[in-house]
Amino acid sequence: MDEIKKWKNVCKAKKITETLNKRHFKASYVETLEEAKEKLISMIEEGSSVAIGGSTTLSQMGMVDVLRNGNYKFFDRYQNLPFDPDIVEIHRKSLTADYLITGTNAITENGELVNTDCTGNRVAPMIFGPKNVIIVAGINKIVENIDAALKRIREIAPMNSKRIKHETPCVETGFCVDCDCKKRICNFTTIIHNGIKFEGRIKIIIIADELGY
């Protein structure tokens, strides 16, 4: 990466980390994906139960393979299970996990976390359930405000639909059309304004690089 761009990314990561901490989240920043992976693993006690929310950034880290290594009780939503009810049951059990690790769709410059889900299995435990939530996000997730966050979510929705192979109109058009179909992925939208209710529960690792969607 160009050194000047890297410097700018670090400055941006430092600034949003400071803002998030003022919002009563427990935030820190790292410079690379590999550093984020090492930090994330160090934050999860071996033997703990762990759930994972859909995240391209975590996929880039290879976190599913890490959690399958036998050192954790992993609520593995990525198993090749035959029926949707089996996956839904894993989602339900995930609400009781010691740790949820996930990404986020957007972080406002004011330090709000904005997310949209298909099933709600990511946004629900972010709000309540697991004892600890660890969010990993690249600086490309930072947007000006909530309106910009919602705009960003609409723009990335077609890519996420295509990634998870949902049969939605946006997979054909490449643009959100606010569809009304069973496979729609934009069903539940949440805004986490701060971490004050359970201070320290939501931990955020900001990566000074552009990652995920």
DSSP calls for 47-115? T-EEEE---HHHHHHTHHHHHTSSSSEE--TTS--S-HHHHHHHHHHHTT-SEEEE--SEEETTS-EEE
- CATH code at position 116: 3.40.50.10420
Mean pLDDT of the region 28-38? 96
pLDDT at 117 over 90: yes
Question: Across the strands, what pairs with 26?
Answer: 203
Q: Please give the residue that has the higher pLDDT: either 81 or 15.
A: 15
Domain membership of residue 150 (yes or no) is yes
Does residue 32 belong to any structural domain of this protein?
A: yes
Instruction: Give the confidence band of 184 by pLDDT, cuts at 50, 70, 90.
Output: confident
Distance CA 125, CA 160 (A): 20
**Nearest-angstrom CA–CA distance, 161 and 116:** 12
DSSP 183: T
CA torsion angle for 9, 14, 19, 21 (degrees, to 10)?
A: 140
136 SS3 class: strand
Nearest CA to 25 out of 117, 141, 145, 126 is that of 126
CB 50 within 8 A of CB 99: yes
What integer is the mean pLDDT of 49-67? Answer: 91
Has residue 15 been placed in a domain? yes
Does some domain include residue 144? yes
Which pLDDT does position 114 carry in this prediction? 98
Which pLDDT belongs to residue 66? 94
For residue 212, being part of any structural domain is answered with no
Amino acid 163: pLDDT: 82
pLDDT at 82 over 80: no
pLDDT the model gives residue 81: 65
Do 177 and 185 touch, CB atoms closer than 8 A? no
Q: What is the mean pLDDT of the segment spanning 32-49?
A: 96
Q: What is the mean pLDDT of the chain?
A: 92
* pLDDT at position 148: 98
- 213 domain-assigned: no
Q: What is the pLDDT of residues 149-182, one digit of tens each?
A: 999 999 988 788 888 788 888 888 888 888 888 8
Verdict on whether the full-model pTM lies above 0.85: yes
Q: Over 70: is that where the pLDDT of 83 sits?
A: no
Q: Tokens 């805004």 appear where?
A: 191
The total domain count for the chain is 1
The answer, yes or no, to whether residue 22 has pLDDT greater than 80, is yes
Domain that holds residue 98: 3-207
